[in-house]
Structure 1
Amino acid sequence: MTKRYLALDIGGTTTKFAILSDEGEVLMQGERDTEAEKGGPHIVENVKRLIREQDLALDGICISTAGIVDEEKGEIIHAGPQIPNYKGTSWKKIIEEEFSIPCEVENDVNCAGLGEAHFGAAKGRRSVLLLTIGTGIGGCFLQNGEIHHGISHAAMEIGYMQIPGGEFQNLASTSALVRRVASRKKEATEDWNGKKILSALEEGDEICLEEIDCFCNILALGIANLCYAFNPEIFILGGGIMGRSDILLPRIKVHLKEHLIPLIFSHTELDCATMENKAGFLGAFIHFLKKQRERKKA
């Protein structure tokens, strides 16, 4: 009998979800507002409601979520201010006790990395480093399909990485780019976003052209540092702004060549994520299957 899994990708703005077969086929998918500002307990109740709404027996709940996750306990051990009262949320314990369904939990960027490695741009690669660029910057490193978690489950929290000028995420995120453009134009940040900046660049806007080049250079510097540390086979860039890879990828590559020694540059493939909004919940599904196998062997 075919098994059915509910996979969720809980982001700060939107929660994407899907019913998957045991082969990873997407049978149904949708999304809802996370309402993160209402806090962790509210998100938990929304997820419980979503589980109850499914008109079929479920064999597992697979959760991808913002925050630092103890993937063994299935618990949030650190969360930013975007989701109040989220730290300490014991997803695995809550779901399994209430629904008697196995549940596994992993960080959203790690899940995006698993999704791309199993189904997308990094399929078949031995060492993969994924960067997500948005409000902040997140990272994931996989070696032979295994996520590098670090001793405190906080490996690849690279948004906090220090580069000249400050934290990487405060200099090379999409929100940082928007702030710089708006400031130079003496306009409100709410009037700008990544898509508008790229459109203005195509129309010959000098400020947007200069700031995009600055953005690509800072990104390339961070990528170069990570390449020196991890020497991955492929480096994947994700996040909404990378939907315009035709504009951004060539510029990033030019600057990356400036920051890397030829040996490493020539052996590092740089590409963009291809799974878009499916990567998170597909990665959560892959993580679920892996953790369940490990628990049965223990």
Structure 2
Amino acid sequence: MQRNFVTIDIGGMAIKYGLADETGAFLEKKSRPTLAREEGGEGILRKVVEIVKRYQQDFLLDGVAIDTAGIVRPDASGEIVFAGERSFPGYTGLKLGTAVREACGVNCVVENDVNAAALGEYWRGAAQGAGSAFVMTVGTGVGGCFVLDGKIWHGAGFSAGEAGFMRIHGDHRVLEEVASARAMIVEAAASHNVSPAELDGETVFEWAMCGDADAVLAIEHMVDNLSEGIANIYCLLNPEVFVLGGGIMAQQEYLRPRIEQRLEELVVPAMRKATRLEFAKLGNDAGMIGALYSLLQKN
């Protein structure tokens, strides 16, 4: 008999959700605006409960799996330990798992979005079958998660793996300030005398592939800085597989040889040879799939 699960991804702009079976296959996927700044934590909870109850009208649910922005306490409470007040007002302190369980009468697990994406790649994606994996997401910021023997390494304060906050270059900068897609876009926009709001990563890569020297340089700077962060993780954790995700990593053909070349220069062979570099395979579904796997593990 098929088991049915609602899986939900809470982001700053959209709440993606769907109905999935125990293999991670989606029977349906939809989305709706988060409106986090306008409606705050209470609004997010209300939307999540509405989604679950709608599915309960037609299906017997075996659980609800949620991944969300913010630092999450990975216990039954699913408490949002921290979320930026500007982007998610009133979200910090919300015991999301408890609230959904009480409102809907169904088991609920809540996980941080990057952690869930890493678990998704471990279960059904680029890190499938690996004993250890570090998954790094590169977008507006840089996030990360270490998975060991199929379990997330959360850390004492539930914020392990936050690679974007690593200090580099010794000048008080953190990795995501110089290695994110945002950093690349800002540099390319400045060199072309346009606003970063008018530019996206895909356009920067299109310029570079057409021979635009300034776009090439912006990407090179991002690759150099990103590779420095990856090299530190290679040396510290020595994972079996290192997975790069985030929308910009769709440019795998352009980025892979450049990152691999820099890693050869930065990491001694003894620390590098056992770790393979992969690019994420699950796209925007990674978080929802990983949240479901977390639920299945805890059940």
Q: Distance in 1 between matches of 2:168 and 2:81?
A: 26
Q: 1:138 aligns with which of 131, 139, 143?
A: 143
Aligned partner of 2:83 in structure 1 is 79
Deviates most, 193-202 or 55-64: 55-64
Residues 217, 256 of structure 1: 8 Å contact kept = no
Q: Distance in 1 between matches of 2:190 and 2:109?
A: 43
Residues 9, 65 of structure 1: 8 Å contact kept = yes
1:144-159 paired onto structure 2 within 5 Å = 144-159=149-164
Residue 231 (1) aligns with residue 235 (2)? no
Q: Distance in 1 between matches of 2:14 and 2:139?
A: 14
Q: Which amino acid aligns with 2:189?
A: A
Shift of 1:219: 0.4
Q: Which amino acid aligns with 1:70?
A: R
Q: 1:187 aligns with which of 194, 204, 212?
A: 194
Shift of 1:28: 1.2
Aligned partner of 1:296 in structure 2 is none
Q: Distance in 2 between matches of 1:268 and 1:26?
A: 31
Deviations 1:200-228 (A, max 9, x none): 10111110001101111100000001111
Aligned partner of 2:59 in structure 1 is 56
Shift of 1:15: 1.8
Residues 91, 105 of structure 1: 8 Å contact kept = yes
TM-score scaled by structure 2? 0.95
Unaligned runs of 5+ in 2: none
Aligned partner of 2:110 in structure 1 is 105
Q: Distance in 2 between matches of 1:25 and 1:134?
A: 26
Shift of 1:17: 1.2
Q: Distance in 1 between matches of 2:23 and 2:201?
A: 36
SS of the equivalent of 1:149 reads coil
Deviations 1:262-296 (A, max 9, x none): 1122222111000111111110001011123xxxx
Q: Distance in 1 between matches of 2:264 and 2:14?
A: 36
Q: Distance in 2 between matches of 1:85 and 1:5?
A: 27
After the TM superposition, list the runs of 4 or more consecutive aligned residues in structure 1 that deviate by more than 4 angstroms: none
Residue 284 (1) aligns with residue 299 (2)? no
Give the share of equivalent positions with the same residue, in percent. 37
Residue 274 (1) aligns with residue 278 (2)? no
* Paired residue total: 292
Shift of 1:23: 3.0
Shift of 1:22: 2.5
Q: 1:118 aligns with which of 109, 115, 123?
A: 123
Q: Which amino acid aligns with 1:187?
A: V
Q: Distance in 1 between matches of 2:263 and 2:192?
A: 28
Q: Distance in 2 between matches of 1:226 and 1:13?
A: 30
RMSD over aligned Cα atoms? 1.2
SS of the equivalent of 2:7 reads strand
Aligned partner of 1:29 in structure 2 is 29
Q: Distance in 1 between matches of 2:12 and 2:82?
A: 14
Residue 177 (1) aligns with residue 184 (2)? yes
SS of the equivalent of 1:179 reads helix
Q: Distance in 2 between matches of 1:51 and 1:15?
A: 13
Q: Distance in 2 between matches of 1:49 and 1:98?
A: 10
Deviates most, 106-115 or 259-268: 259-268
Q: Which amino acid aligns with 1:27?
A: L
Shift of 1:168: 0.8
Deviations 1:246-270 (A, max 9, x none): 0111111111111111112222211
Deviates most, 221-230 or 10-19: 10-19
Aligned partner of 1:12 in structure 2 is 12
Q: 1:242 aligns with which of 242, 249, 258?
A: 249
SS of the equivalent of 1:187 reads coil
TM-score scaled by structure 1? 0.95
Shift of 1:33: 2.0
SS of the equivalent of 2:44 reads helix
Deviates most, 49-58 or 65-74: 49-58
Q: Distance in 1 between matches of 2:107 and 2:27?
A: 20
